[in-house]
Amino acid sequence: MLARADGYPGDGAPSDLLEVRAVSKHYGPIQALSDLSFTVRKGEILGVAGPNGAGKSTLLAVCTGHQKSDAGDVLVEGAVLSGRPPHRFCHAGVARMFQIPQVFSSLTVRQNVEVGATFGWRPGSGSRLSVEELMRVTGLDGLGDHSSADVDLITRKRIMLAAALATGPKVLFMDEPLAGLNEEEIETLAELIATLHRTLALSIVLVEHKVRALARLSDRIMILNFGRLVRLGPPAEILADPEIIDLYLGRSYVA
């Protein structure tokens, strides 16, 4: 099990990697995010939970450049990225995994990972794991020449994870990576996430409905509802609050 930090520095602390400042986003009359502010620390896993419609997926889209916020800023290592296209977020060290695996079905497994490496390349990007190394650490050994159209769901998730890591991210946003998996597959992928986090010193923002797995993986959990931050703290503190469980998580998720 991952060790969790006992405390967390305030906004602007040297260990802050990503900062969200007063971000708002609406779709017509729907306020998806409302004046939302938080930071992600270097090397931490920040879990994000909340009921359907809380703004979790919109948050990931705004933080990775796939949606523009109506107000506020997203910063990585002090540089403002708000309003820039996704490739600028990528080159600043931001990567994303989607809830439904996004792979190129016409390409092989290896070619999908190579696309990530090509998309993320930038001058001075420094050393990164090779495509072959990424395939090994994500459990894709021996599948390089397989068609991505013919693999099962957990393998498609591994492909998307390897391709995201091939961009050389500093922070990886994951949108419900455990969705659609059986119990054995959930345990396998959760352990892979934990291992990659340790070995790559990677910051991760993890949106997940599997609350037990989220609590086991996360250093802190942020609860959202109606686009607002309801609570942010250590997993033990969040899951010990019956009001948070009843109103925002649901006992069926925690049990």
> What does 20-48 look like in DSSP terms, one character per residue?
EEEEEEEETTEEEEEEEEEEEETT-EEEE
- Planar angle of CA 188, 191, 194, nearest 5 degrees: 155
Identify whether residues 71 and 195 lie together within a single domain. yes
pLDDT at 104: 93
Nearest to 241 by CA among 202, 215, 218: 215
Identify whether residues 205 and 228 lie together within a single domain. yes
Identify whether residues 76 and 144 lie together within a single domain. no
Burial 135-165 (b: 16+ CB within 10 A, else e): bebbbbeebbeeebeebeebbbbbbbbbbbb
| 47-63 average pLDDT score | 94
Identify whether residues 187 and 125 lie together within a single domain. no
What number of CA atoms fall less than 13 Å from residue 188's CA on the CB side? 14
CA–CA gap between residue 64 and residue 172 (Å, rounded): 9
pLDDT at 121: 67
* C-alpha distances out from residue 143 to 109, 135, 146, 192, Å: 6, 9, 5, 17
CA–CA gap between residue 197 and residue 190 (Å, rounded): 11
Report the chain's mean pLDDT, rounded to a whole number. Answer: 88
| Parent domain of 34 | 16-93+169-254
State pLDDT tens for residues 210-235. 988 999 999 999 999 999 999 999 99
Q: How confident is the model at residue 11 (pLDDT cuts 50, 70, 90)?
A: very low
202 in a domain, yes or no? yes
State pLDDT tens for residues 96-143. 999 888 899 999 999 999 999 888 766 555 447 889 999 999 999 999
CA–CA gap between residue 203 and residue 195 (Å, rounded): 12
27 in a domain, yes or no? yes
Q: Taking the CA atoms of the chain, what radius of gyration do you get in angstroms?
A: 18
8 in a domain, yes or no? no
Identify whether residues 247 and 234 lie together within a single domain. yes
74 in a domain, yes or no? yes
Identify whether residues 61 and 175 lie together within a single domain. yes
Query: Could you say which of 166, 182, 204 is where a domain stops?
Result: 166
* C-alpha distances out from residue 177 to 33, 54, 145, Å: 22, 18, 24
9 in a domain, yes or no? no
Identify whether residues 176 and 75 lie together within a single domain. yes
State pLDDT tens for residues 141-176. 999 999 999 999 999 999 999 999 999 999 999 999
Q: What CATH number is given to the structural domain containing 63? A: 3.40.50.300
Q: How confident is the model at residue 251 (pLDDT cuts 50, 70, 90)?
A: low
11 in a domain, yes or no? no
22 in a domain, yes or no? yes
Query: Could you say which of 138, 166, 194 is where a domain stops?
Result: 166
Identify whether residues 162 and 176 lie together within a single domain. no
Identify whether residues 162 and 186 lie together within a single domain. no
98 in a domain, yes or no? no
Identify whether residues 211 and 159 lie together within a single domain. no
What number of CA atoms fall less than 13 Å from residue 69's CA on the CB side? 25
Query: Could you say which of 166, 195, 210 is where a domain stops?
Result: 166
Q: How confident is the model at residue 9 (pLDDT cuts 50, 70, 90)?
A: very low
Identify whether residues 84 and 191 lie together within a single domain. yes
* Structural domain total, the chain: 2
Identify whether residues 29 and 117 lie together within a single domain. no
